[in-house]
Amino acid sequence: MGPTNSFSGYCAGRARVETEELLGLFERVASADAYRRLLLEGLCFAYWVARRLFELLILFGRSNRAKELEVLVLRHELQVLRRPVGRPRLRSADRVLLTARGVHLLDLTRRSLHIRG
């Protein structure tokens, strides 16, 4: 049955209005969430593009020898990762090779960035 007196009618009407206000609030929050998510994705994409551009600039600044050395290091890492074991196990020769190449790359990086250490 419907409300019989004015107070209960007022309460039922007020509950309907509050429900509509809450639904409107939820819609605004949902649209704000969507806006924030879109903004965050846009920022992530912009960050990704900026990183790739900086990497490209750095790549153009490197000598051919440094590029070839990096390719050799990456190929060796792939060989290590392709070994049929659960977890890649570095042999002593692998450690020596990677350390020597890493030190050389570090020296090249320091020289290209003019860092003295």
Report the pLDDT value the prediction gives residue 69, as an integer from 0 to 100.
85
How does pLDDT run across 52-81, given as a tens digit for each residue? 898 888 888 888 888 888 888 889 988 888
Report the pLDDT value the prediction gives residue 51, as an integer from 0 to 100.
92
- Does the pLDDT of residue 40 top 70, yes or no? yes
Where are the alpha helices (H) located in 1-117, listed in sequence order? Answer: 6-61, 64-81, 92-113
Per-residue confidence band for 104, with pLDDT thresholds at 50, 70 and 90: confident
Phi/psi at 111 (5° precision):
-65, -40
Query: Structure pTM?
Result: 0.38
3-class state of residue 82 by DSSP: coil
Q: How far apart are CA 31 and CA 96, in angstroms?
A: 56
Per-residue confidence band for 1, with pLDDT thresholds at 50, 70 and 90: very low
**Whether the Cβ atoms of residue 100 and residue 69 lie closer than 8 Å to each other:** no
Q: CA torsion sign, 58 to 64 to 68 to 73?
A: negative
Q: How far apart are CA 46 and CA 56, in angstroms?
A: 15
